Structure 1
Amino acid sequence: MLRFYIINYIYSFNLIFRYVRNTASSPKETEMLESEDVRIEIPGNQPTNNINVGVVREWEFCIQGHEITQSSERKRQIEKVPPLLLKGEKGRRNGEHYEPTVVSLGPYHHNRDHLSAAENYKLITLEEYCLSCEKRMDTLYNKVFEVVEDARNCYIDGCTDEFTDEQFNRMMLHDGCFVLFFIESVATQNNKLMLNNEHLGALGFATVTRDMFLLENQIPFVVLKVLLNLRFPEDGGESILNKFFNYLNYGEFTKREEKVFGKKQPLHLLELYRSYFISLFCSFGSKVDADRKDWNYVKRNRSFASVTELKAKGIFVKCTSDDESSNEDIKFHSRFCYGELQLVHRAVYPNSKAIYLNMIAYEMCPHNPNDFRVSTYVRVMKSLVINHEDVKELRNNNVLIHSLGRDEEVMKMYEEIDAPAVNLYMFSQLRLGIEKHCNNKYKTWAAELINVYFSSPWQTVALLVATAILFTTFLQTYFTVRPLPDESSGDIVKLLRRCVNSKHPTPA
């Protein structure tokens, strides 16, 4: 009872307090019924079009593997490495692969003491690039100055405040000419490439490529585009970039019939190379996911068997032919009695780990809709490569070449690269196709028969000899129990009698 009076007292006091407060704040409103609804409206907080809907659609469109052609309202910036990638044991070990060791490009690592040698060399590459363009240095300066404001907006707010427009423009001009001079020298195998050895040393020359593809060491592509148009007015430098990217991908300078520039201008060189690096088979099965209703994240994200394990199940790795479409770099076909996993030919060299890590870091950045193609490719390779025998199998099938010395180094490289997120649609489609093939008993039995008895010519011959011996032994036993009639004179009977009376050779 006492509790009931206390509750009523508190409720009455609350009503009196609300009445006094409303009377003091608004003299005209002297009465408010308890049953009235109070609605608070915040002006300007109800837009007619929800911008989040467009963001979601853009992400969904990218994940489905389509190229975005329309310019988004989102401000695209050259991001820094997400801090979460640097946490954990692997993140701390891989931290050095995000830092430049020879040359700084852009404002994030500018004026580092250990990178001073490259700053002096940039003046030489600037002069050489001007001679190649047959333009005066002030012409290049003025052309870059026309886009200096757009270039400044490509960096994180506040990172370029310490530079005046003139200082920032000179930095963009020096860095851009350095990058393009190196790319042209490598792609054309120009003897001027030896200038890198003279000023940076042989080890420094080998590391320039690595530094050019670091996420925090990028310059806006709008600057590179201006300089490329001055040097290559006919195609904007697409042929040179094609040869350079092929050198990174396949270890050769041969120009392939692949487009470098898409419908949308890239933000920087790393983004352009990433889009050229790999294009996974985008005809993934949304119907497959809908039919299976398998939305368990762990199940959809689990790995599949390695190369040697797949071979035991009758799935053989094959290099994609050069005449096939480069837009289907990873394909799986389940044949009548075997499976075929087709992978594009790739080269692995000492700089591959740093380039892979920075392309993955680019995909992990916020405000950056993409389809996680490189992360998915790395996850596929991590599943396929478990031991050195897997690397050997990829080498023998011309899927992979490397210059790391031992096959164990390739295995270790993929093991240390972490791919936190993948395109589950593309990855699960590939995994479901492989698992469906492996669960087919007929195909796995046929694969076991081929692997055990027909893996080499000598095993095939031994199987045939053993089969012949078994067959003649059966005939001898059968006709011993049921002998042939003596008066038979047919050719078949004579042949059978000869087989029965003959002694088969004993195996050694």
Structure 2
Amino acid sequence: MDQTQNESGWMHSIKVTLGSLDHREVKSFISSIPCVSSKLRKSNEEAYSPKFVSIGPLYRGTSSHLLAMEEHKWRYMLALLHRTQNPVSTLDECGTVILGLDDAVRASYGGNIKYETHELAKIMLLDGSFLLELLLRCAPPNMVPQIPKEDNHNNGSSSDPILGHKEVFLSILTDFTLLENQMPFFVLKTLARMLFPNVFTSEADHLVADLTLSLFSYPLIRCPSVAHFLHLMHLSSIVDEGQKVKQAQQELKRCATRLRAAGVTIRKVERHSKLVNWFGFDIRFSKGVLEIPPLHVVDTTEVYLRNFIAWEQSRIGINRQFTSYALFLRGLMCSVQDIELLVENGVLVKGTKISNRDLLTLFGTITKGVDQMDNSYSKLCEDLNAYSAVNPLRKFPILMLHCCNLCVECIRYSCKHSYKILIRDHIPNVWKLIGIVVAAALLALTIMQTYYSARG
């Protein structure tokens, strides 16, 4: 009997995925919420894991620090229901509809969800209601004026446990951008239609997406279908469409210092968005001047960029502009001297206490494990690699200084790495340190005794 149940269990995930291929909302986004590959995760495990709130089934109950937000989820859900005319009957209707989306939801997660049907529907209903209520509380006044306010549950931002604390709110927004911490967008839209049918109509199908982009301060766009929050933000960010996909490689062969030695002037260009976690892809090179929109590096920059890259690497047929952008930056920075030059020119704006060496490590590892990129900067890199407008005699001192700095950094890295191995493997405690010191002293005394004996 158990064997029969196991066989039907593994076959069920296959049937779920096949059955969702023709689903109107899901057919283009089967397995749209995958686990990040181990080769991408290796560089920074924490960049893909939520810190405050879990969304969806993948991280539910995995750590104690995520449980603190569960109570607030329930309170947000209650507040959302009290915006409707009949909360009890509305909840019953929403539960029935969400339960009917079980196969489509499982297909979005690749069909490998450990929760049974009713528990998964509960997660979708709770997390979807939480997200929708948060969107409504943060919505601009003129976007959804028809939806009534809920005064009985302390909607004021000062008493709100999330909106009343800026750092917590920003951390939660960051958790919403993690690839593994998403929920299917069609669940959110379904809930909105069920709760407020007069507002979220078929003519206003874009309204949930508008609320989401407004929450993150991203430009509003019109797109036919969306997989989840991260996908929507990706669509709102990319500049060039239809770029050719190819194998990932570092196309820029000259770092910032070498470009300066070749006569290239690196200059920042003002970007159109004032949003901190916004990446300016409009990089241009003309008449010896390389113009780059400034990149504000804050605590969340790495998380955003890594998860955008992970999304691009998990799909076929989408733009990989974030990946190409990160590879271009990696080529631009090969030493601390390059970081200093870019900071001095305003291309890199450090909004945190991060050091130049940490920045070098960040951009040196952020593309490790990527397989594909597009040709967004192929022509740009080709022109930069070939450009030369400086006399070799003027170029030589800059390159020599750069090579010396690289040698010093390599020696420093080797010494630091060797020291860590020594401490970790050979001197794990103070007694072993004393033993090594005594042994070294005895060895020195033995050598001295041998030397003086030979002379005598």
Normalised-by-shorter TM-score class: 0.5 to 0.7
Q: Provide the TM-score with structure 1 as the length reference.
A: 0.56
Secondary structure of 2:130 counterpart: helix
Q: Is the 8 A contact 2:73 2:127 kept in 1?
A: yes
- Provide the rounded CA distance (Å) in 2 between the counterparts of 1:386 and 1:191: 49
* 1:192 corresponds to which of 153, 157, 161: 157
Matches within 5 A, 1:51-62: none
Deviation sequence 1:50-100 (CA, Å, 0-9, x none):
xxxxxxxxxxxxxxxxxxx999678444211223334xxxx1x51222222
| Displacement after TM superposition at 1:411 (Å) | 3.6
1:177 paired residue number? 129
1:404 paired residue number? 352
| Displacement after TM superposition at 1:397 (Å) | 5.6
% identity of equivalent residues? 20
Of 100-109 and 136-145, deviating more is 136-145
Secondary structure of 2:310 counterpart: helix
- 283 and 213 in structure 1: CA distance in 2 versus 1, 3 angstrom threshold: closer
Secondary structure of 2:61 counterpart: coil
> Aligned pair 1:99/2:60, yes or no?
no
Secondary structure of 1:146 counterpart: helix
Matches within 5 A, 1:406-445: 406-408=354-356, 409-419=358-368, 420-436=370-386, 438-439=387-388, 443-444=389-390
| Displacement after TM superposition at 1:186 (Å) | 5.4
Secondary structure of 2:216 counterpart: helix
Counterpart AA for 2:309: I
1:467 paired residue number? none
Q: Is the 8 A contact 1:306 1:386 kept in 2?
A: yes
| Displacement after TM superposition at 1:175 (Å) | 0.8
| Displacement after TM superposition at 1:432 (Å) | 0.6
1:375 paired residue number? 323
Deviation sequence 1:266-317 (CA, Å, 0-9, x none):
2111222222233347678x9xxxxxxxx9x79x644333334434422323
Which consecutive residues of structure 2, in runs of 5 or more, have no partner in the other structure?
Answer: 1-23, 142-154, 399-456
| Displacement after TM superposition at 1:221 (Å) | 0.6
- Provide the rounded CA distance (Å) in 2 between the counterparts of 1:243 and 1:73: 25
| Displacement after TM superposition at 1:197 (Å) | 5.2
1:494 paired residue number? none
2:180 paired residue number? 216
* 2:105 corresponds to which of 151, 155, 169: 151
- Provide the rounded CA distance (Å) in 1 between the counterparts of 2:350 and 2:271: 19
- Provide the rounded CA distance (Å) in 2 between the counterparts of 1:260 and 1:153: 26
Q: Is the 8 A contact 1:102 1:118 kept in 2?
A: yes
Matches within 5 A, 1:89-488: 91=42, 93-114=43-64, 115-131=66-82, 136=87, 138-139=89-90, 142-143=93-94, 145-146=96-97, 148-149=101-102, 150-160=104-114, 162-165=115-118, 167-183=119-135, 185=137, 191-192=156-157, 195-196=160-161, 204-228=168-192, 233=200, 235-246=206-217, 258-263=219-224, 265-280=225-240, 301-312=250-261, 313-319=263-269, 321-322=271-272, 329-335=281-287, 338-343=288-293, 345-365=294-314, 368-387=316-335, 390-391=338-339, 394=342, 399-408=347-356, 409-419=358-368, 420-436=370-386, 438-439=387-388, 443-444=389-390
Q: Is the 8 A contact 1:316 1:340 kept in 2?
A: yes
Q: Is the 8 A contact 1:100 1:211 kept in 2?
A: yes
Q: Is the 8 A contact 1:261 1:272 kept in 2?
A: no
Q: Is the 8 A contact 1:391 1:407 kept in 2?
A: no
Q: Is the 8 A contact 1:386 1:411 kept in 2?
A: yes
Aligned residues: 343
- 398 and 260 in structure 1: CA distance in 2 versus 1, 3 angstrom threshold: farther
Counterpart AA for 1:79: P
Which consecutive residues of structure 1, in runs of 5 or more, have no partner in the other structure?
Answer: 1-68, 248-257, 287-294, 453-508
Deviation sequence 1:138-179 (CA, Å, 0-9, x none):
42663464352322331222415x3233x3222112112323
* 1:79 corresponds to which of 34, 37, 46: 34
- Provide the rounded CA distance (Å) in 2 between the counterparts of 1:194 and 1:384: 46
Deviation sequence 1:409-460 (CA, Å, 0-9, x none):
4444323323423425334322112123x24xxx3459x79xx9xxxxxxxx
| Displacement after TM superposition at 1:107 (Å) | 1.3
Deviation sequence 1:173-198 (CA, Å, 0-9, x none):
21123234445555659852753359
| Displacement after TM superposition at 1:262 (Å) | 1.7
Secondary structure of 2:207 counterpart: coil
| Displacement after TM superposition at 1:123 (Å) | 0.6
- Provide the rounded CA distance (Å) in 1 between the counterparts of 2:80 and 2:39: 39
Secondary structure of 1:246 counterpart: coil
Counterpart AA for 1:262: C
Counterpart AA for 1:405: K
- Provide the rounded CA distance (Å) in 2 between the counterparts of 1:137 and 1:193: 29
Q: Is the 8 A contact 1:303 1:431 kept in 2?
A: yes
- 245 and 116 in structure 1: CA distance in 2 versus 1, 3 angstrom threshold: closer
Secondary structure of 2:124 counterpart: helix
- Provide the rounded CA distance (Å) in 2 between the counterparts of 1:433 and 1:331: 13
Q: Provide the TM-score with structure 2 as the length reference.
A: 0.62
- Provide the rounded CA distance (Å) in 2 between the counterparts of 1:193 and 1:414: 38
- Provide the rounded CA distance (Å) in 2 between the counterparts of 1:130 and 1:311: 60
Secondary structure of 1:341 counterpart: strand
Counterpart AA for 2:157: K
**Computing the radius of gyration over CA atoms, which structure comes out larger, 1 or 2?**
1
- Provide the rounded CA distance (Å) in 1 between the counterparts of 2:73 and 2:297: 29
- 412 and 394 in structure 1: CA distance in 2 versus 1, 3 angstrom threshold: same
Secondary structure of 1:317 counterpart: strand
Q: Is the 8 A contact 1:209 1:351 kept in 2?
A: no
| Displacement after TM superposition at 1:378 (Å) | 1.3
Q: Is the 8 A contact 2:212 2:229 kept in 1?
A: no
- 129 and 352 in structure 1: CA distance in 2 versus 1, 3 angstrom threshold: farther
